[in-house]
Amino acid sequence: MPIPVLRSVHVHPVKALRGFTLPEAEVEPWGLAGDRRWALVDDSGTVVTQRRHARLALASAELLPDGGITLSAPGREPLTVTVPAPALASVPAAGPGTEGQEDDTLPLDIFGTVIDTVPAAPEADAWFSAYLGTEVRLVHLDDPARRRPIDPRYAAPGETVSFADGYPLLATTTASLDALNSLIAQGDHADEGPLPMNRFRPSVVVDGTAPWAEDDWRRLAIGDVVFRVAKPCGRCVVTTTDQRSGERGKEPLRTLARHRKSGSSLVFGQNLIPEHRGTIRVGDPVKILD
């Protein structure tokens, strides 16, 4: 078996929008630099994703050197959005047992955790609202070091995450995708396959492993950066969304339900937590430490 290597690196500047590949990326404690530092929020304060709006797959955000983004989508003129000023000091708490909200922030409920975010300029809200046909706002994560803790069942105290679903990075392997596509080809919806890796929206893709080898990973190093494996990644309806057209199908969830079910979750890939900062590069060796 050849030594596994890093096949590709993927960053999604705005949660739920199309990602792009990089030859290398800085690993920060809460994820890859520039990854998922922006998100959309609806009028109820809930994060907006492809789960409800598959059209977000057709929109993209180019990451600018200063952390800003340039948005593009079908039927919309490109729009450059600058990073909003960080939130001001906290407003005093309303009373015992309550938390104060910082000035100039907007609360965001991201899968049951409410955090303070900084709103972008109104032009960005109007751009996305017109594209989706419903009122949404664009927000920025100004201080990922303290805003959103990782689930304490899988993380050490003080470990945080960006607007990613739950963990700083997601790793997948090409061998497991090939194995999954072989299973899809044998099923009732074979015409939907083979599926590309972008259905799973990973941070890093590893080449040169056996199929499903990641099931046994506990710690690994990509180049000089060490990661702890938190848990397998439970998959949702977003994986059934063609990232080029926005159309939904049945796969891969139908096949994952038959072959890759763990408890109530359908799993593909592993969630990673970095143990320190560093830079990873395409072609880096991947060493399984535990």
Contact (Cβ atoms closer than 8 angstroms) between residue 7 and residue 282:
yes
Return the pLDDT at 104.
87
Nearest alpha carbon to residue 269 among 221, 203, 220: 203
Residues of the chain predicted below pLDDT 50? 90-99
pLDDT of residue 268: 98
CA–chain centroid gap for 238, Å, is: 11
Kindly give the residue spans of alpha helices, DSSP state H, lying in the chain. Answer: 122-132, 174-185, 253-259
Strand partners, 108: 115
Nearest Cα neighbor of 150 from 115, 100, 187, 189 is 115
Q: Which of 256, 254, 251, 250 minimizes the C-alpha distance to 195? A: 251
pLDDT at 97: 40
CATH architecture of 5-93+100-288: Beta Barrel (2.40)
Task: List Cβ<8 Å contacts ≥24 apart for 67-73.
Answer: 67/34, 67/37, 69/13, 69/14, 69/38, 71/14, 71/124, 71/127, 71/128, 73/131
Q: Is residue 208 within 8 Å of 276, Cβ to Cβ?
A: no
Beta bridge partners of 248: 241
The CA distance from 36 to 17, in Å, is 9
Q: Model's pTM, two decimal places?
A: 0.93
pLDDT value of position 2: 80
| Cis peptide preceding 194, ω within 30 of 0 | yes
CA–CA gap between residue 122 and residue 126 (Å, rounded): 6
Q: What is the pLDDT of residues 181-220, one digit of tens each?
A: 999 999 999 999 999 999 999 999 999 999 999 999 999 9
Q: Give burial (CB, 10 Å; 0-12/13-18/19+) of 139.
A: buried
Type of residue at 103: D
CA–CA separation, 141 vs 161, rounded Å? 10
What is the pLDDT, as a whole number, of residue 96?
38
Domain edges within the chain: 5-93+100-288
**CA–CA distances in Å: residue 85 to residues 77, 79, 82, 105, 272:** 25, 18, 9, 10, 30
